[in-house]
Each structure stands twice: as structure tokens, then as C-alpha cells.
Amino acid sequence: MRRTTVPALLTCALALSSCSLVGTGDDEAADRPTGDGTTEAGGPVVLVTHDSFSLPKKLIRAFEAETGYELELRANGDAGSMTSQLVLNVDNPLGDVAFGVDNTFAGRALEAGVFAPYRGEWPAGVEEYALPGDDEGVLTPVDNGDVCVNVDTAWFDEEGLEPPQTLEDLTDPAYEDLFVTSGATTSSPGFAFLLATIAAYGDDWPSYWEDLLDNGAKVVPGWEDAYFVDFTAGGGGARPIVLSYDSSPAFTTTDDGEDTTTAALLDTCFEQVEYVGVLAGAENPAGAQAVVDWMLTPEVQAALPDSMYVFPVADGAGLPEAWAEFAPRPEQPLAVDAAEIDENRDDWLTEWQDIVSR
Amino acid sequence: MAAARATGGGSTAGRLAGLAGLAALPAVVLGIFFVLPVSGMVARGLVDDGALDLAGVLEVLGRPRTGRVLWFTVWSSAVATTVAVALGLPAAYALYRLRWPGRRVVRACLLVPFVLPTVVVGVAFRQLLGEAGPLGFLGLDGTARAILAGLVFFNVAVVIRGVGAAWESLDARPGEAAAALGASPGHVFRTVTWPQLRPAVVSSASVVFLFCATAFGVVLTLGGLRYASVETEIYLLTVQRLDLQAAAALSIVQLLAVTALLLLAARLRAVPDPTVARRSVPPRRPRRTDVVPLAVTGLLLAFVALPVAALVTGSLQPDGPDGGWSLEAYRALDGRGTAPGQGGTALVVPVTEALVTSLRTAVDATWMALLLGGLLALLLTRRSRSRTERRVRSVLDGLFMLPLGVSAVTLGFGFLITLDEPPLDLRDSPLLIPLAQALVALPLVVRTLVPVLGGVDDRLRQAAQSLGAGPVRTLVTVDLPVAWRPLLAAGGFAFAVSLGEFGATSFLARPDDPTLPVVIFRLIGRPGPLNDEMAMAASVVLAGTTALVMLLVERLRVPSVGAL
């Protein structure tokens, strides 16, 4: 028995080795467009992104076929982690172009000189999302979304209770023990919500947070904990008010698709904009610029909601039906200047952590 | 090979050269993929404007928050380790000394948590403990006790496996003799069994302590905001604050503490002469007196099964607890998740494709871990003939355990800032992820192989050599027949570890070619009908695959699996 087992196992091992990554080599080379007549443009262009990046493969292939560049993607954790890595590697960039730095982290990247100036053709509507304080023109807006408090309208209907409207309402005893949010130090929407309260209350924000916690607000580590575990409409939790996004109600449609069972409170929203930029010291700056332009094409803009759950910045990019119908946007989202965020981020987070863990 | 051949010679210099030959590949790999990134990261924090800034580091260590973080790390790891050992010992006894139907399956099941992605388990735990969850009345949500439960959940397997394997091969006769002379079972345990078992217990406990002290996902998802361990603090300082000085200071503390712990453990472990042949004692039927260990095992199984059961039910109820049962989430696994509207998707690749990527990555990680671990184990078990040689071996032994105790964040960032220039521009190499995972699995492989190879009588090798066999021939004829089962078992461990590895992979994964844990994480982070149920279904598939691998490992019946 032992005599046959060893050879059999060795055979298995050999068979397995053929399905390892090493065995595959670079068979993608065959798919690559080879010199399809477009000028001298070409070669690999490395796009650094956060790990939520996602676009249809078809679009990426079309980009490669049209421009002659090969797009290589490199993920680097979440937006914060990616920005930190870009800053750390400023003298030896991780790639040619970076997508996913948002307005809560942009100041840090700008100050460190991570990006090189580039401004292509901006379709109508993009300008209004330009980063305040970006005087050299290094960042191009690609998408935006708002972090907003969401309510389970079905739950409130059933209870015969009027849902809250404003940040102030959340400290009203009528809504005691009903709100769950994710933490500012552990999640990016959580940090955006802290910024929303800072935008609304200025220097008084700590006392607002004390009131919020006194009223039984629950703080959990991540968005997924808050939404899928504690929110009544997410996974059968116990709290009908949750921190999420303005697009979230488009995901809670009824079975017939006629209505949605949740709503975003449009007076509580903090706007997040994601940018793309050419990295300073890029090996393939021409390719990097082509990627920046590509992100603003109608095809990519239209693919954003479905692929990355965010709104396009270009006018007329078109939205999925459910989004257009059930995800109204705030007219005046709360905002804090990127430079101010950068200056105070540490102090705010430290103070917030003190309040929450008191 | 020339260097290895010198091992046959008698001179100390020759033997040391042989040592160096065997150590070369693992040392180079460790140097490039561990020492270089970590020291690069630490250096960034220590050097300020071109000058060494130790005052800054001391300032960080003096902060009250640093003190709190250190204290929480130490006590939570100590308590979790104690609980894991207290529950693991009786379970190891019941699972390895007693014979009852289904024990192999139970063993395999208890090993599964060790390799599950922490994010998923975190959500499953919170689903149980949250206000509306079935265990919500316990009020554990967001407490330190939840973190402790999570740490025990993940690590009790280490104790069961490590101690169980040692217990299995323990000679029962001295104990029986003592009992025949009138010693009570407690007395037998204290005076006969425990001294023989102690090395394995100490060794498992120190590994569990290491895992607890460096657990990242568990602390972040279960305790959340009130509690921070050194590991989560390094993450926060690096990612959110970009305070590299503070992160470096904590990394240094962590490294020193881990080194101290390894030294202490090595001393306490004091392995008895490894060449003493170990006997495999056939397990016996349970007696009435065995009811306590069996009960503890049952309790443990329930404890481990609860979050897994929450995952399974979640994956089978796509419309929530009131919506009935369906396999919809499993059928959707060949798709890419959903977004309403224009038929959008949550993922770049179908979940099934990610599973294939995971399996392929795991194959690579496995052979790498086996190659490196095999070389190291050979190196560590060749008989030392001089004090220098022994010292060199023990230093090497400790060195390769160090990766267990270093923050994944430090390592991940370190990879990116140090391996970025030719000839070491490896940031895009497809081998980077398997290599990182192989390093994570390496201590497990080494600890599985060392006791077995150590048990081979060196005289057999000498005999083979004196009959004219070269080093390779000696290896094949003397070592391989003994070592092939443990080698396969170690391969199984490495494979399972690689399947579930998330920390390093999330840093290094290519977005268009993600592994299964990465895909699960993405699904659970996105709203959309069926996405979280798909994440749970994918987790069940992952857990099932892992359990299968573990069951195969169990079937190999590796006689003694040393420290792990």
C-alpha cells in the first residue's frame, strides 16, 4: 500500500503544480493589442487604486485596444492606506497614475507632492467637484457620493413614529437607542460623518457627540457591522437609523421594484469626491494622462454607479433606474475644506476617540 | 550541493559550511521578505531629517495612550491564552487519547476557525452577539469579552493540535504503573503526564500568545473602538495618522517582546532528547471518568460551531430570517454580485474564479513553504557537534519564528517601500502573494517537520553514508520514508493557511485577480441584494474546503506534530 501511495501522491503533486500561478506565465500577452497603428504611445501604465476599485473588464480592454497601453492595476488597501503609501513612496512612485484619493485624504497627498500637474478636457459638470486648494491642478474629480444618515422608513411607518430629519433630531429622546454609526478611526464613512458634524457644529462638535452618545447612539467599527448587523433593514438588526450613503436607498427596493423601504436624510450628508491624478515621477506620464482622460469618458462615467456604487461627476452620464428614482441627492451637502481637514485630522480623531471611549 | 556534501565530513568548519549551505535559501528569502521590509519600515520612523531620533521614540513610549494599548494587548492575550489552554487541554485529551465515533471529523472541524478570514467571522460573531442576535441578551457586543471570545475561537485549534499530537504519542505505561501503585488520576497527571506534556503545552501557549498579541482583524471587528491592541494601533498610526515614528516605536516594542517571548518559550520548552523513539499509543474507549474532557470538547465544538452556524443559516436565508430557505446565494456564486439598475456587478471576477485563484495561489504558497520549511527542518535537526553549532541552530530556529510576531501592516507597508527598485522590484510579481503566505505558514511547517526528522537516528544516516550514499541518496533512503506523511500534513496546513490568509494578501492582491477572502471582504462591504448572503455562502465554501483539507491531513495520521 505504501509502495503505491508515494508515487501516486507525487503524481498528484506534479498535476497540481500545473495549476499553480507559476505555470501560467503571461498568457495575457496574447490578448494584448500589438502595435495597432497608433503613434508611439504604448507600453504598460500602472494604475494605483484602493481595493474597492472595479470597472468592467470590457471597458479596460477597450481602453487598451484604443490607446495601445496595457493597463496594470495595483491595489493598496483602502483609500486611507493607499494615500499613506503614495506619500511614503513619493520619491519612487508605486505606479504612473493613482485613482481613489478622496477629499478627506487629498490634502495629505497634495502637501507631500505626490501628484504632477495635469489637466485634460473636463466634460460639463466636472468643474464643480474640483478640489478647493488644488491650485496647480493635479487632481481630476471622477466620482462622488454622500455619506448620509439613513432611516428604515418601513420601521417608522409601523411604529407610527415620524423619522428624524436633521443631525439635531438624532439627539432627541424620541430617537433614543435607535441610531448606529461606524467609527471615525476605523472606517472611512465614519470619518466622513465626524466631518459632517464638524461642518455643522464647528468647535462645538464635541458637545454634540456627547449628546449623541447620551441619547444611546451606538458606535461600531465598520460600515458593514452597522448596516448588516445592527440596522433593521440591512440584516434584521435592532436599530432603524444607520450611517450609510445617499445611494443606499436604491438597494432596498421592494420586491416589485416600485418603492424603497429606506431613505437618506439629506440634511446630514457629507460629500465625498474621489480623484485621479498623474503621479509625480511617473515612468509613463503619457499613459498616465491617457488614463486620467479615460476616467472621464462617458463609458467609464456611466459604469461608475454599478461598478463602484458612486455617482459620476460628468453631466448626463446617466444613472441606473433605481438610482434615479430612489436615491435623491442632497442639494447642499456638508463640507469641510481639505486643507483644514489635513491640519486638524489628528486632533479631531484623538478627541473623538476620547469622547467615544469615555 | 558541494556545501551540503561537506556535512558528511567530520571537521567543524566543514559542518558549519554545510549548515550555511542548507540555510542559504531560507536566509535569503527571510532577509528579502522579512528583515528588509521590517527594518525599512522601522528605519523610516527612527530617522528624522537624516538623523537618528531616539528622543522622539521615547516620547511616543511615554504617552499615556501607548501605555493603555500595551496593557490591553498583554492582558487580553494572556487571558485568551489561558482560556484557550484550559479548554484545549481536555479537548486534546478527548480527541487524541480516546476512541469514539466521529472524532476525526470533530478534530478537523475544530481546526477550521484557525484559517477563516477574520472579517467574516467578525460579522458572524456580531450577528450572534448584536442587540437583535440570538445571544444579544448576554450584552457582550462591543466588549472586551467579545474580543477574548474571538481570540479563543481562532486559537484553540493551535492548543488542541499541538498538545493533542504530543499526548497521542506519550508512553502510557509509566502512568499506568503509578496508578497501579495507588496514585489518583490527578496525582498521575501532576507527576507523570504533565512533565512529559509540558514542552508541548508551553510551546502551543507561546504560539497562541503570539497570535493573540498580533491579532488584527479580531480586535478591530469585535471590540471595536474602545479597545486598541498594539497591532490595531500600528495600523491606525500608519494608515490614518501617517505617524511613522510612533508606529515604528510600537513595532520595535512588539519585536522585542516577541523575541523575549520566544527566548523564554525555548527555555521552558527544553525538549527531551529528540532521538528517543516516540510510541504511538492506540487510543482507548472512553470510561466514565472521561466525562469531563468529553463535555468540554462538546462545549468547545458548540462554541466554534455557533458563528459558523450563523454563517450557514445566513447564506441559506437570502431574504432574511423570515424569508425562508433557499440556495440562491450559492447559485449566485458563479456571478459577480449585484447592483440594481443596469445589471451592474459588485466584483471584477465571479466568486468561483476567485476560488480558483485562491487554490492556485495556495499551491504555490504550499510548495514554497515546504521547500523553505523542509530545508530549515533538515538544518535544525542535524545533530550538533559543537557548542557554536548548537548556538547557530537555535538562533536560526528563533529567527524563523519571528515573522509570527510582526504586524502585517508593518510588513505590508515595508514590502512596498523596500522592494521597489531593481533588482528587487517585486511589487508586481505574481509570486509575491504566495511568498508572503508561505512566510506566514513557515513556522507551522517547520514545527511539524522538526520533531519527526529529529526523531530519526543519526546513526542511520552515518551508516548510509559509510556505505557510499551521497547526501541526496541519504535523504531519500533515510529521511523521506519517515518524513513523507508529516511533509504532506505540513503541506496541508500551509495550503489551508494560504486559502484563508487575508492580512498580507489584501495589501498585495491585484485588483483584477483577487483571492477568495478578498472577494468575500468586497462583497460584505457593499450593499445590494444578495451581496452579504453571497459573502456568507463564499465563506461557507471556504470553510468547507479548509475542513476538507484538514480532514485529509487527519487521515495521514501524522504520529507527532510537535509544537503545532
Name the 3-class secondary structure at A71. strand
What is the pLDDT averaged over residues A255-279? 92
What is the predicted pLDDT for the residue at A25? 42
Q: Which residues of A touch B359 (CB under 8 A)?
A: 19
Q: CB of B346 within 8 Å of any CB in chain A?
A: yes
- Chain A nearest-CA distance from B31, in A, is 21
Amino acid at A20: S
The string of pLDDT tens digits covering residues B102-111 is 888 888 888 8
In this predicted structure, the answer to whether residue B490 has a pLDDT above a threshold of 70 is yes
Distances (CA, A) of A40 to A43, A68, A69, A97, A120: 9, 9, 10, 19, 20
Q: CB of A154 within 8 Å of any CB in chain B?
A: no
Count CA atoms within 13 Å of residue B549 on its CB side. 27
What is the predicted pLDDT for the residue at A275? 97
Query: In this complex, do B123 and A85 lie within 8 Å of one another by their Cβ atoms?
Result: no
Name the 3-class secondary structure at B116. coil
Joined together, the cell numbers standing for residue A357 give 471611549
Chain centroid to Cα B278, Å, comes to: 25
**DSSP tag of A239:** B
Joined together, the cell numbers standing for residue B73 give 494587548
Joined together, the cell numbers standing for residue B138 give 448576554
Name the 3-class secondary structure at B455. coil
Amino acid at B122: G
User: Which pLDDT band holds residue B278 (cuts at 50, 70, 90)?
Assistant: low
Q: Which residues of B touch A84 (CB under 8 A)?
A: 238-239, 242, 413
- Chain B nearest-CA distance from A238, in A, is 5
Nearest in space to B451 (alpha carbons), one of B162, B211, B27, B21: B162
Burial of B310 (C-beta count, 10 Å sphere; 0-12/13-18/19+) = buried
The C-alpha R_g of chain B, in whole angstroms, comes to 24
Q: CB of A261 within 8 Å of any CB in chain B?
A: no
What is the predicted pLDDT for the residue at B11? 63
Q: CB of B365 within 8 Å of any CB in chain A?
A: no
Helix axes B531-555, B118-129, angle to 10 degrees: 110
Query: In this complex, do B526 and A248 lie within 8 Å of one another by their Cβ atoms?
Result: no
**DSSP tag of A229:** I
- Chain B, window 259-298: residues with a beta carbon less than 8 angstroms from a chain A beta carbon: none
Q: Which residues of A touch B44 (CB under 8 A)?
A: 88
A69 close to A43: Cβ distance less than 8 angstroms? yes
Q: Which residues of B touch A76 (CB under 8 A)?
A: 416, 507
Nearest in space to B502 (alpha carbons), one of B548, B539, B553, B545: B539
Query: In this complex, do B225 and A356 lie within 8 Å of one another by their Cβ atoms?
Result: yes
Beta strands in B22-156 (DSSP E): 47-48, 51-52
Q: Which residues of B touch A219 (CB under 8 A)?
A: 224-225
Q: CB of B224 within 8 Å of any CB in chain A?
A: yes
Query: In this complex, do B363 and A320 lie within 8 Å of one another by their Cβ atoms?
Result: no
The string of pLDDT tens digits covering residues A13-31 is 545 555 666 645 444 433 4
Nearest in space to A218 (alpha carbons), one of B328, B226, B160, B509: B226
Distances (CA, A) of B108 to B95, B154, B366: 10, 14, 19
Q: CB of A28 within 8 Å of any CB in chain B?
A: no
Residue among A50, A228, A352 with most chain B CBs within 10 A, to mutate: A228
Joined together, the cell numbers standing for residue B60 give 511616543
Query: In this complex, do A89 and B420 lie within 8 Å of one another by their Cβ atoms?
Result: yes
The H or E element containing residue B51 is: strand B51-52
User: Which pLDDT band holds residue B7 (cuts at 50, 70, 90)?
Assistant: very low
What is the predicted pLDDT for the residue at B140? 86
Pairing type for strands A43-49 and A69-75 reads parallel
- Chain B nearest-CA distance from A58, in A, is 10
User: Which pLDDT band holds residue B495 (cuts at 50, 70, 90)?
Assistant: very high
User: Which pLDDT band holds residue A106 (cuts at 50, 70, 90)?
Assistant: very high
CA–CA gap between residue B329 and residue B333 (Å, rounded): 7
First CA to last CA distance, chain B: 30
Query: Phi and psi dihedrals of A82, rounded to 5?
Result: -65, -45
Joined together, the cell numbers standing for residue B130 give 448584536
How many secondary structure helices (H) and strands (E) does chain B include?
A: 26, 2
Query: In this complex, do B507 and A77 lie within 8 Å of one another by their Cβ atoms?
Result: yes
Residue among B416, B418, B426 with most chain A CBs within 10 A, to mutate: B416
Q: CB of A319 within 8 Å of any CB in chain B?
A: yes
- Chain B nearest-CA distance from A224, in A, is 6
Query: In this complex, do A54 and B348 lie within 8 Å of one another by their Cβ atoms?
Result: yes
CA–CA gap between residue B171 and residue B182 (Å, rounded): 19
Q: CB of A222 within 8 Å of any CB in chain B?
A: yes
In this predicted structure, the answer to whether residue A91 has a pLDDT above a threshold of 70 is yes
What is the predicted pLDDT for the residue at A8? 53
Sign of torsion over alpha carbons B168, B171, B175, B180: positive
Query: Which residue in A74, A84, A244 is closest to B238 by CB distance?
Result: A84
What is the predicted pLDDT for the residue at B454? 73
CA–CA gap between residue B499 and residue B364 (Å, rounded): 11
Among chain B residues, the shortest Cα distance to A233 is held by B320
What is the predicted pLDDT for the residue at B361? 92
The string of pLDDT tens digits covering residues B425-457 is 777 677 888 888 888 888 878 877 877 777 777
**DSSP tag of A348:** H
Supply the ipTM of this predicted assembly. 0.78
What is the predicted pLDDT for the residue at A3? 47
Query: Which residue in B133, B416, B526 is closest to A94 by CB distance?
Result: B416
Query: In this complex, do A74 and B507 lie within 8 Å of one another by their Cβ atoms?
Result: no
Query: In this complex, do A307 and B509 lie within 8 Å of one another by their Cβ atoms?
Result: no
- Chain B nearest-CA distance from A267, in A, is 22
Q: Which residues of A touch B509 (CB under 8 A)?
A: 51, 75
Joined together, the cell numbers standing for residue A251 give 438597494
Residue pairs between chains A and B whose CB atoms are closer than 8 Å: 207
User: Which pLDDT band holds residue A34 (cuts at 50, 70, 90)?
Assistant: very low
Among chain A residues, the shortest Cα distance to B45 is held by A88
Among chain A residues, the shortest Cα distance to B125 is held by A229
B118 close to B212: Cβ distance less than 8 angstroms? no
The percentage of chain B sitting over the pLDDT mark of 90, rounded to a whole number, equals 12
- Chain B, window 18-57: residues with a beta carbon less than 8 angstroms from a chain A beta carbon: 44
In this predicted structure, the answer to whether residue A272 has a pLDDT above a threshold of 90 is yes
The string of pLDDT tens digits covering residues A167-214 is 999 999 999 999 999 999 888 899 999 999 999 999 999 999 999 999
Mean pLDDT is lowest, of A300-314, A335-349, B118-132, for: B118-132
Identify the structural domains of chain A with CATH numbers, from first to last: 44-144+273-327 (3.40.190.10), 146-270+333-357 (3.40.190.10)
Identify the structural domains of chain B with CATH numbers, from first to last: 67-228+271-275+288-315 (1.10.3720.10), 326-563 (1.10.3720.10)
Output B408 or A308, whichever has higher pLDDT. A308
User: Which pLDDT band holds residue A279 (cuts at 50, 70, 90)?
Assistant: very high
- Chain B nearest-CA distance from A281, in A, is 14
In this predicted structure, the answer to whether residue A5 has a pLDDT above a threshold of 80 is no
Q: CB of B410 within 8 Å of any CB in chain A?
A: no
Amino acid at B132: A
Burial of B252 (C-beta count, 10 Å sphere; 0-12/13-18/19+) = middle
Residue among B119, B348, B357 with most chain A CBs within 10 A, to mutate: B348
Q: CB of B522 within 8 Å of any CB in chain A?
A: yes
Joined together, the cell numbers standing for residue A176 give 433614543
Q: Which residues of A touch B130 (CB under 8 A)?
A: 229-230, 237-238
The percentage of chain A sitting over the pLDDT mark of 90, rounded to a whole number, equals 57
Contacts of B516 (CB under 8 A, 6+ apart): B351, B354, B355, B357, B358, B499, B538, B541, B542
Beta strands in chain A (DSSP E): 43-49, 69-75, 97-102, 140-152, 179-182, 218-220, 241-245, 262-264, 270-278, 311-312
Which residue shows C-alpha cell 485577480?
B513
Output B234 or B345, whichever has higher pLDDT. B234
Q: Which residues of A touch B421 (CB under 8 A)?
A: 92
Tally of CB atoms within 10 A around A291? 24
- Chain A, window 126-145: residues with a beta carbon less than 8 angstroms from a chain B beta carbon: none
Chain centroid to Cα B307, Å, comes to: 20
Pairing type for strands A97-102 and A43-49 reads parallel
Joined together, the cell numbers standing for residue B32 give 528579502
The H or E element containing residue B348 is: none
